[in-house]
Amino acid sequence: MKRLILELSLKPFFDLSDRGIADVAARIVGQWASLIDKAETLSFMMWTADGSEILDYRGDLDDDISWACWIGIANPPSQPKNKTLHQVRTAYIDNPPVLTYERLRAVVAGLKRVAGEATGRPVTVGATFDPGPEFAESSFKYVRHKEIAAGSTMGEGQWVNCASKLNADTRSYAAFPGGIPARTSLGTFLGGQSRRFLSDMGFDYLWLSNGFGYSLSSWSVTGEVFDGKRFDADAAPRVNRSIIGFWRDFRAECPDVPIETRGSNLSTGMDLSSDAAPMRDIYRGGFNLIAPPNSPWAALDGDYGLEIAGWLSHIAELPETGTFPFRYYIHDPWWLNSPWLDRYGREPHDIYLPLSCSRIDGEGCVQTPNSVSMLTIDDSYGRMPDQVPREVAPPILQALACAPDEPGAVTWIYPFDEYHDWTFASPSRANEVFFGDWFIRAAINEGFPLNTVVSTSNFLTARNKRPDLFGKTVLTCPAPDAGSDLARALIDHVDAGGKVLLYGPLRHTAAAIRERLGVGLAPGLSGELSFETTLSLDSLAQGAYPTRIRVPELLSGGGAEEISADAGATARAHVSSGSEHRVFTAVARTSAGGCLAWVRGAFCETISGGQLPTADDPREWFHAARLMRTVLQEMGIVLRLAKADVATPDPVILASRNRNAWYFSGFSRSTNVRLQWRMPDGVPVPVGCDVEICNGIGEMSLPRAWQRECRVFVDQTASSEVTCREQYSGEIGVTRRLLVRGLVDADVTFYADSAMPHAPRFQKGGGYLGMGADIANRQIESGVFLAPNVTGDLIISW
């Protein structure tokens, strides 16, 4: 961990004297010592207000700051509809302390001095800017310059538009002592004010919050170029230019201060298709910024598919800084909740899932987050309960210790450049861009194990530099365009024995890919269609999967156009309307053991306003995204579920690699669901788990949140309960032992620790320390060993 970032408001500083500031700083350092100890540098991100302290700054240190001393919305509507926190506000204590710019500067200096002396580490402090009405009273945004808050997020006239222009203002400001000239861009004004404010206060960087700088109105499925009914291709270039204009204007006035951003709650493709968001231009514009972290918002709604898909899409490519952070939501200083204690129920799933994610660069190196940010270390009353750092730090340290160093079970080749090109093409393919990311989000929510990403350009470079890098992962991406380097590379990969899973329409892809899959093209079918599949679906205690599916043409990248061209030899699913049939899933194999699969997919949801889509009723309509997990069985990855009925929610399951082991991480929305699984090497038997094996498939119960190391895979036809337990060493030179019990004529595959200096030893259970005679084994590939025909107990030592 290069950097630990502790985010906090000013609420814990009940006493703003120098002594009071030092006491709070010392307590923070003590509470978070276990994480600070693992970090090279320490940062504090200060939620002073909402950024209006920057906009209002006149250069006078004695001026008061309207700071974030509220619980509930700081700028409430004039006529509240009710007494909820989104309609009314309450001061966090009676008579909150008065904050001046001089005292804010003292807080920044005190944090740096006390934390630096206590930890011996470099300490930086960042300021924040938020476009919304949530945190602090803002006369600038909502009285003097309402023209900049035209966005409708959180209500009409409540959200600052980064591309807006300011009306004339004769008031003196630090960077504009003669006032603001009419039509001054917000980028120019905020840039100038930031340069003065950050320097005068001692801040080292600026954080742009809640999507500011990435789109004109954040958080919505719809946007400037998509209203839910049509994609406005003509407006996309104008919107794109206006957003990138903000960055250029800002950097012209504030060229040197590092910028960090929250980015969007959605994904690159989602924002491109709805808001023409210029992610590529922002990343490659030389603006000295860090890629956004994972969104805390999606996970709070339990939408881990959106969090994972969004984050992977944002880190497929990186700005020139080449780094990206992980962010974890433990307290909320404004909305009277502490997610670790109440929303997450003290379960670490939103630690294990995102920290099992990784990206691959053009050199073929696996990259993981280099910093950890805690949002926030104080709650809505300014309290900093010791319980939270005591409980949160251990799973974070554990997840960092087993961070991915190889591609996981599935690697997303993310079409970062293609999605930008398709959005602004003539004719635009924004509908395909929209469909692609929403489909993957739904697939992850239905158990598709995706947690590795590589952009198309990085994939093409990395596969040449490290030819074996993608040999054990399933590559997935939208069907590549005909004539593209990616299309040729994927065909070569399959011919060499690799596995590829494509999704989306095939109308633009290479003819060779359609021929491999045995499909041609015909007029599209859309609307309410019949559905059938020969794939093995999840086991239901009652009811059955629907035989109907909705394929909305606009939101699914078109209709289902693919027809069987070879009597359906490769088809695994069809949709139909009357006598018209279309292939929906197909699988083709090669003599070298390669596999090419494809799922047409559909947007099986409904958009209402700008809110998150609502999934079709699973009792009435089949969900197309489920096929992504299901078709993996054709590639040796069986992830089936045993659950009560079709409406029982699926768990999120991710599969990453570290030091040659597999790490399975998950979140079970229903703990009554059981996992039925198998990998190409056999049934996984994670350390500390009990797995019932029957007919070569393992079945086990899943807790709410889990992460398990797995080095043992068992292939046996007999039925038995197989367990894997950690054993004590009891012998000089032995670091670890695993005891595997319940084997019946089993072939046991063991993934050795890549850090161990010698080959593992396989022994029968029994005898002194539970160890008996050696069991024959052989190395079947680098770091992988096979012990055949084992019955009883097996001890593996290294």
Each residue's pLDDT tens digit, 547-565:
999 999 999 999 999 999 8
- The pLDDT score that the predictor gives to residue 80 is 83
pLDDT digits (tens, 9 = 90+) for 714-773: 999 999 999 999 999 988 999 999 999 999 999 999 999 999 888 999 999 876 667 789
pLDDT over threshold 70, residue 152: no
- Judged against a pLDDT cut of 90, whether residue 157 lies above it is answered with no
Give me the pLDDT at residue 795, please: 96
Distance between CA 265 and CA 294 in Å, rounded? 8
| pLDDT over 90, % of the chain | 92
How buried is 45 (Cβ within 10 angstroms: 0-12 exposed, 13-18 middle, 19+ buried)?
A: buried
Lowest mean pLDDT among 17-26, 212-221, 368-377, 596-605: 212-221
Quickly state the pLDDT bin for 298 (edges 50, 70, 90).
low
pLDDT at 769: 66
pLDDT of residue 765: 87
Give the pLDDT band (50/70/90) at residue 712. Answer: very high
What integer pLDDT is reported at residue 393 of this predicted model?
A: 98
Q: Please tell me the distance from the alpha carbon of residue 435 to that of residue 108, in angstroms, as a whole number.
A: 45
Q: CA-to-CA distance for 531 and 550, rounded, in angstroms?
A: 9
pLDDT confidence of residue 154: 61
- Residue 197: is its pLDDT beyond 90? yes
What pLDDT, on the 0 to 100 scale, is given for residue 79? Answer: 80
Helix (H, G, I), strand (E, B) or coil at 196: helix
Q: Above 60 in pLDDT, residue 568? A: no
CA–CA separation, 523 and 317 (whole Å): 36
Judge whether residue 290 has pLDDT over 90: yes
Per-residue pLDDT band at 78 (split at 50, 70, 90): confident
Nearest to 658 by CA among 433, 366, 241: 366
Residue 160 near residue 186 (C-beta atoms within 8 A): yes
CA 624/CA 599 separation, integer angstroms: 8
Q: Is 638 helix (H, G, I), strand (E, B) or coil?
A: strand
DSSP characters for 31-59?
A: HTHHHHTT-SEEEEEEE-SSSHHHHT--S
- Tokens, residue 373: 């940010």
Looking at residue 566, its pLDDT comes to 77
Average pLDDT over residues 9-19: 98
Helices then strands, each counted (H, E), the chain: 19, 43
Q: What's the pLDDT tens digit per position in 99-120?
A: 999 999 999 999 999 999 999 9
User: How does residue 82 score in pLDDT terms, banded at 50, 70 and 90?
Assistant: confident
Q: How far is CA 710 from CA 287, 351, 664, 685, 725, in A?
A: 42, 19, 7, 6, 11
Q: How far apart are CA 534 and CA 572, in angstroms?
A: 5
State pLDDT tens for residues 599-647: 999 999 999 876 889 999 999 999 999 999 999 999 999 999 999 999 9
Domains of the chain: 3-356+369-401 (3.20.20), 410-627 (3.40.50), 656-797 (no CATH)
pLDDT reading at 219 higher than 90? no
Spatial contact of 760 and 775, defined as CB atoms under 8 Å apart: no
pLDDT given at position 565: 87
Which helix (H) or strand (E) element contains residue 783?
none
Average pLDDT over the chain, rounded to an integer: 95
Q: What pLDDT shows up at residue 771? A: 77
CA distance 254 to 234: 32
pLDDT at residue 218, as a whole number: 67
E strands along 81-120, which residues? 89-91
Task: For residue range 412-467, list pLDDT tens digits in order.
Answer: 999 999 999 999 999 999 999 999 999 999 999 999 999 999 999 999 999 999 99
Strands (E), 456-567: 474-478, 499-503, 519-525, 527-533, 539-540, 548-551, 560-564
Q: pLDDT, tens digit, for every residue of 311-358?
A: 999 999 999 999 999 999 999 999 999 999 999 999 999 999 999 999
Q: Where are the alpha helices (DSSP H) in 587-635?
A: 626-630
Q: Which residues pair with 605 in a beta bridge?
A: 615
Q: What is the pTM of this model?
A: 0.96
